[in-house]
Amino acid sequence: MRTLLVKHRNSWCEDCCDGITTGLSPLIYQTGTYLKREGIDVTTLEYDQFPGDLLQEYDCLALFVSLAGLDDNLHHLRVAKKKGLHTILVLHDSFCVEEELMIDHEFIDFCIVYPEREIALKELLLSLESKRLNDVVGIVRREDGRPYRTQTRMPSADLKHLISCAKILAPVLAKQSYTHAYLTVGRGCPHSCSFCDLRRTPVRKRAPEDIIDELTLFQKHAGLKDLISFIDPFFGADLPWTETLCEAMLGKGINVSWRATTRYDLLPDIPLLRLWRKAGCMKMGLGLEHLGHPRLKKVDPAEFRLAVGRLQKCSIFPIVSIIIGLWDDDDAALSELENYLFSLGRIEVVATPLMPLKGTPLYEEYKTKKVMNREWSYKDYRKWGYAEVMLPTEHLTKDEVLNWMQRFHSFNGPHRGSAIWRKVAVLLERVNRVF
């Protein structure tokens, strides 16, 4: 059985991170490399124009896509189904909407769900050859025409199955230019933030040597060399692993710039941060989310400030993520948050409007409060996305929340040259000296 893995070139499809992009999203190539190693006859292809004329050569089509790219790409599975292929949707969004999609689109035979989609896809393809579908976990399949979600797959112990895809990616990069790259290096977070769909999941990391092999390829291409995002919800969860990775990068002469995200309360001390910086870390994301909302995420503002200061001291630019538009948000609460952010000094702010995700405690809380008058569908998530305001608060309209979001985004704009900002920077410098 021959399988074709496809993804539109402008789709960003990494676990927990997805959308429309001009960057390289290599998870599909890592998946293809893994499947080949497991003895599966698979071809991996990114397309600008869908290669419908190639379908007659294959028995199965697996489409990698996110909700943001669904309208423009999902119909390719319809074309494949008409030609007699098995059709598989690998939806890189955590909205628990696979059954809905399969009800609305009868041409989808299977969906792959979290976690470790590569392993679930391997087992599905092997089962299609052996005709033993009942043994596959981590998928949605059809029973009597209706979607049926099989047993949830347990996360693997690590991500060592995601071996380097540099061999099959090299000819792609020789022909195609990208402005930046996303590179999955780890998965999982054991913490319990109520808004997060990856909460209480075990930490898994890829083998450093496989990451190094891909970075060696990336640094040969100007568009990738200086802007690489390490995709990992908790980069610093295993500090010895980060040390091994950074030391290996330096030992191999890897010269790239990268960014990642981690927890403020487990940020390492200065020596390891300086190693991160020496190995090319230019920015590090920390999730503040909000002030005074322990149900969302418990944050110690004083400790968070110290963590930001450590990054600044090591010349790693802090990216502070916040969530606004909680039910009890008002102008006073958001002004307090704004003042706190100003006090942190030179930072980048990523403001996201509240989006309760299915399967999270926050979603259930909003249902209980009857803020949502029905279950949300993939159409709701597709319509609003992470950049639009989905709900008002008890005190603010959606437009008012949107105005606040734009105001927070202005932290990354011209106001940083203002007299007030210069005073804040001077105070921050004094704090750094004391620290």
pLDDT in tens, 343-399: 999 999 999 888 888 888 888 888 887 778 788 888 888 776 667 888 889 999 999
Q: In order along the chain (435 residues), what is the average pLDDT of each group of 10 residues?
A: 95 78 92 97 95 93 92 95 97 84 96 92 94 85 92 92 96 90 92 79 95 95 84 95 98 95 95 98 94 82 96 96 91 94 92 87 84 83 76 92 89 48 40 38
The DSSP call for residue 153 is P
Beta strands across the sheet bearing 281-289: 181-184, 228-231, 258-262, 281-289, 317-324, 348-353
Closest CA relative to residue 286, chosen from 338, 231, 350: 350
pLDDT at 227: 85
State phi, psi for 285 to the nearest 5 degrees.
-85, 135
Tally of domains within the chain: 2
Residues, the chain: 435
CB 313 within 8 A of CB 270: yes
State phi, psi for 341 to the nearest 5 degrees.
-60, -40
Q: Decide if 159 is inside a domain.
A: no
Which residue's entry shows tokens 């423009």? 72
Q: Decide if 321 is inside a domain.
A: yes
In sequence order, the 6+-apart residues with CB closer than 8 A to the CB of 53 are none
Q: Are residues 91 and 182 in the same domain?
A: no
- The rounded Cα 337 to chain-centroid distance in angstroms is 25
Residue where one domain finishes, among candidates 91, 118, 149? 149
Q: Decide if 155 is inside a domain.
A: no
Q: Are residues 91 and 186 in the same domain?
A: no
Q: Rounded to an integer, what distance in angstroms lies between the CA atom of residue 362 and that of residue 71? A: 28
Q: Are residues 183 and 129 in the same domain?
A: no
Residue where one domain finishes, among candidates 116, 149, 182? 149
CB 120 within 8 A of CB 113: yes
pLDDT at 429: 40
Q: Are residues 72 and 171 in the same domain?
A: no
Q: Are residues 105 and 184 in the same domain?
A: no
Q: Are residues 63 and 89 in the same domain?
A: yes
pLDDT in tens, 47-60: 999 988 999 999 99
User: H/E/C letters for each residue in 28-76?
Assistant: HHHHHHHHHHCCCEEEEEEECCCCHHHHHHCCEEEEEECHHHHHHHCHH
Q: Are residues 182 and 126 in the same domain?
A: no
Q: Decide if 426 is inside a domain.
A: yes
Q: Are residues 15 and 78 in the same domain?
A: yes
Q: How far apart are the first and last CA of the chain?
A: 62
Q: Are residues 133 and 186 in the same domain?
A: no
CB neighbour class for 82 (10 Å; exposed up to 12, middle 13-18, buried from 19): exposed
pLDDT at 417: 37
Tokens of 104: 């609305």
CB 428 within 8 A of CB 346: yes
Q: Decide if 138 is inside a domain.
A: yes
Tokens of 208: 């450093």
- The rounded Cα 69 to chain-centroid distance in angstroms is 15
User: Which CATH number is 332's domain given?
Assistant: 3.80.30.20
pLDDT at 386: 64
Q: Are residues 69 and 213 in the same domain?
A: no
The CA-based angle 80-139-44, given to 5 degrees, is: 45
Q: Rounded to an integer, what distance in angstroms lies between the CA atom of residue 353 and that of residue 19? A: 16
Tokens of 200: 């209480």
Residue 238 domain boundaries? 166-434
Q: How far is CA 10 from CA 73, 90, 277, 364, in A?
A: 11, 16, 30, 33
Q: Decide if 107 is inside a domain.
A: yes
User: Which CATH number is 78's domain given?
Assistant: 3.40.50.720
Q: Are residues 208 and 250 in the same domain?
A: yes
Tokens of 325: 């538009």
Q: Rounded to an integer, what distance in angstroms lies between the CA atom of residue 200 and that of residue 197? A: 9
Q: Are residues 379 and 341 in the same domain?
A: yes
Q: Decide if 161 is inside a domain.
A: no
Residue where one domain finishes, among candidates 104, 124, 149? 149
Q: Decide if 387 is inside a domain.
A: yes
